[in-house]
Amino acid sequence: MIVERLAHWAEAAPDAPFARTLDRSLSYGDTYSLARRFATLLRRRGIGRGDHVALIAGNSLSYLVAWFGINAVGAVAVCLNDQLLGDAIDYLVGQSDSQLLVVDAEWLSSRHKDLRDVRAELPCIEIGDDGFLDGLRAMPESEAVVSAPHEVCTILYTSGTTGRPKGVMCAHGGYIATGQQSARILELGANDRIFVYLPLYHTNPQTYAVMSALATGASLALRPRFSATSFFADAKALGATGCTFVGTVLAILAARYPEPMRDHHMRFAIGGGTTAELAGAIENRFGFKVHELYGMTEVGGWVSGATAADHKMGANGRVRADMQVQIVDDGDNPLPVGERGEIIVRPLQPNRILLGYYNKPDELAKASRNFWFHTGDVGSFDPDGYLHFHGRTKELIRRGGEMISPQELESWILKIPGVIDCAVVGVADPIMGEEVKAVVVAVPTFDLGDIRPWLAGQVPSYMLPRFAESVDVIPRTQTEKILRRALQYVDERVTDLNQNNKGRTPQ
């Protein structure tokens, strides 16, 4: 089904732009032709319907061609993080039962050596430069396989910040539906161009950008990675009218550009993980609308989102018409409006959410209690029907019986003068169960001792951090998720704000 959308625009508007970098562009017609030629190459390597192909590469036009080509042959694209090292990448290649590797030159030269045993012997196809795309033109075009809505198109792995990643099996039907819904809330048209700088192995650019472009005939502006320094210059040079975002991207932009920046054509940003204050600052300073979503890979990308007209700062929009969402207590009983509980999701139409976790049926069973998918996220509905996200259940800090959302406390700490970036984690404590630790990136003159006094009038006393640490950078995944496990320590680097001494452990 994905390739059928590409084929539609290749026939209806073959010369219309589909994807552009600073150096080269591909039309819809070019992309469809190259994808079918790549499918021929895959068939010659013995790849067919249902086979698993690991796609491990950075953002490029070749990545898109390979992704479509894998689907054109009826295979499953196992989209893996090209920055993973050692056992992490070896595990995913093996766990996914990949039969072929499609990789770029950088990964092949620097990380292929991390594969072991039979994984190291898997055949490879190298992609990633203009020579590769030009060379494909010598291949004949294969007939694209017609896929059903319930067939698996990709396996996307969870970030693995709390244990081994799980491979989410995503259906063609879910990709199509999320692309249509994304285009709807953005009021996307053929003249729009979506700026893609987040890694293409992630559900965010795949469903919010690539699939919404295929829904409307819009195009993509592609960069290898996010750069705050060149963000607006790149967006302008590429003719971008909007972008996707995740995590702290907007906070980084706000910190990098304290003054208005309007010399661009951007009108929207779509993603999740911001706050009302930050979204307001972005809209006022940069002039584009922040469309806040709630979603995750398992639920088909997103289940609630805001349009430009139906929009509330700090909320995650309204639930899609093809989805059902409830807020429940620990016994799965629905909670009243305004009360916080776990967000659970159920599709109202088929093939919208995950088909399962690859080779881990027990994980799906645990997440599908009472015939609802349990997200592990904390949320609430307000009286106007907007969904609000309050953090991950597994990330919540339990201090003396009180539950603390790291994201909520982080939003306050970011307002402290001198703080550039921050993370909040729980650290073990024999009396309180957990204590709160704040990790900040701040200006050189910042005093960690100012954190508690500043927060004292803003948050309840039980949320005040006991520990604080100053670092040069907050550790994050490629998609800007905080690696909280890497910060859950108390040693000589850490200040005990109760004692104002470094290295003091909880008593």
And the tokens for 300? 């088909």
Please say if the pLDDT value at position 502 is more than 60: no
pLDDT by residue (tens digit) across 123-160?
999 998 889 999 999 999 999 999 999 999 999 998 64
| Farthest-apart Cα atoms in the chain, separation | 72
| pTM attached to this predicted model | 0.85
Q: Which helix (H) or strand (E) holds 456?
A: helix 451-456
Judged against a pLDDT cut of 50, whether residue 382 lies above it is answered with yes
- CA distances for 293 relative to 182, 451, 477, angstroms: 10, 30, 20
Domain with CATH 3.40.50.980 in the chain: 1-16+23-147
The model's confidence at residue 249, banded by pLDDT at 50, 70 and 90, is confident
The CATH fold of domain 396-502: GMP Synthetase; Chain A, domain 3 (3.30.300)
pLDDT band for position 400 (cuts 50, 70, 90): confident
pLDDT tens per residue across span 65-74: 999 999 999 9
Q: Compute the average pLDDT of residues 412-427.
A: 94
Which residues of the chain form CATH 3.30.300.30? Answer: 396-502
78: part of which helix (H) or strand (E)? strand 76-79
Residue 234's contacts (CB-CB under 8 Å, 6 or more residues apart) are: 22, 195, 197, 221, 223, 227, 240
Sheet holding 289-294, edge to edge: 25-27, 17-20, 219-222, 193-196, 242-246, 268-272, 289-294, 304-305, 318-319
For residue 160, give the 3-state DSSP assignment.
coil
Give the neighbor-by-neighbor strand order of the sheet with 419-429. 419-429, 433-442, 467-470, 495-496, 501-502
pLDDT at 408 over 80: yes
pLDDT single digits (tens) 263-302 = 999 999 999 988 888 899 999 999 999 999 999 999 999 9
Architecture of domain 1-16+23-147: 3-Layer(aba) Sandwich (3.40)
Rounded Cα distance between 392 and 162, Å, is 11
- Which pair of tokens denotes residue 84? 């993973």
Looking at residue 163, its pLDDT comes to 57
Cβ-contact 496, 466 below 8 angstroms: yes
Residues 71-79, mean pLDDT to the nearest whole number: 98
Angle between helices 2-12 and 172-186 (to 10 degrees): 50
For residues 329 and 129, give the distance between their C-alpha atoms in angstroms, rounded to a whole number.
51
Q: What percent of the chain has pLDDT over 70?
A: 97
Structure confidence at residue 83 as a pLDDT band (50, 70, 90): confident
Contacts of residue 309, defined as CB under 8 A and 6 or more positions apart, other chains included, come to: none
Lowest mean pLDDT of 80-84, 244-248, 286-290, 354-358, name the range. 244-248
Indicate the average pLDDT of the chain: 93
Alpha-helix runs per DSSP H in 18-116: 28-44, 61-72, 86-95, 105-110
Q: In this structure, what are the phi and psi dihedrals at residue 378, rounded to the nearest 5 degrees?
A: -100, 130
Band (504; pLDDT cuts 50, 70, 90): very low
How far apart, in whole angstroms, are the C-alpha atoms of residue 347 and residue 357? Answer: 17
405: pLDDT confidence band, cut at 50, 70 and 90?
A: confident
